[in-house]
Amino acid sequence: MRKVYLAGPEVFLPDAAAVLAQKAALAREYGFHPLTPGGPHPGADVLGAFDFGLVIGRSCEAQMNEADFVIANLTPYRGIGADTGTVFEVGFMRGQGKPLFAYTNTTRDHFARVSEDHYRGAELSRAGLLTRGPDGLLIEDHAMRDNLMIDTAIHESGGSFCAADAADPARDMTAFRAALTAARTWWAAR
């Protein structure tokens, strides 16, 4: 049975345990063995804040080293892009050459979020292929869901980046199910 690392910012939710349990159950339903971040870290509460952080980080790295692939929740988190911890994990798995599957609970792409949410519809400057914000910073316009390193890595790994709009973007499982379906198909062909 293939092991999937379930990366995502669910760990920060007030109902994290319930949402992670639901994702793990769904992964099993699709035939995978789930590895989830977080969980209890016995004794960590007597450590200092920094060392407590290291314990969690090491635990997540160990699970990624054990996993065959990742399904990452890249729904925008506290801003216009994916949670940085989750993005780190996508890069980590790509660095090891493992297949990447991901999902986001919005169909609004990177360019839409940067131009509409970050720049709030301010006038953009266009020169050839390049579009820039009023502060002069380039806005990636590659019909990609997030930063091009992320979309490229998923594409090159042979995986899928699924998207669906959701009333509750922090918890909806529609796009996650689509990613599970894509992963099941991918592994079945091997």
Footprint of a copy of itself (CB under 8 A):
11-14, 16, 45, 48-50, 52-54, 56-58, 60-61, 64, 78-85, 87-96, 114, 118, 128-129, 132, 136-138, 140-144, 146-153, 155-156
* Residue 123 beta carbon to a copy of itself: minimum distance, rounded to whole angstroms: 16
> Based on CB atoms, which residue is closest to a copy of itself, 28 or 148?
148
2, 33 in Cβ contact below 8 A? Answer: yes
* Residue 44 beta carbon to a copy of itself: minimum distance, rounded to whole angstroms: 9
* Residue 166 beta carbon to a copy of itself: minimum distance, rounded to whole angstroms: 17
Q: Identity (one letter) of the amino acid at 145?
A: R
DSSP 138: B
CA distance 86 to 67: 15
> Based on CB atoms, which residue is closest to a copy of itself, 23 or 145?
145
> Based on CB atoms, which residue is closest to a copy of itself, 45 or 123?
45
CA distance 75 to 21: 19
> Based on CB atoms, which residue is closest to a copy of itself, 30 or 88?
88
Task: Give the rounded distance of the alpha carbon of 5 from its chain centre.
Answer: 11
* Residue 26 beta carbon to a copy of itself: minimum distance, rounded to whole angstroms: 22
> Based on CB atoms, which residue is closest to a copy of itself, 122 or 138?
138
CA distance 126 to 33: 47
Q: Where does 71-173 have alpha helices with state H?
A: 84-95, 110-112, 148-157
* Residue 57 beta carbon to a copy of itself: minimum distance, rounded to whole angstroms: 3
Q: C-alpha dihedral over 77, 82, 88, 91, to 10 degrees? A: 160
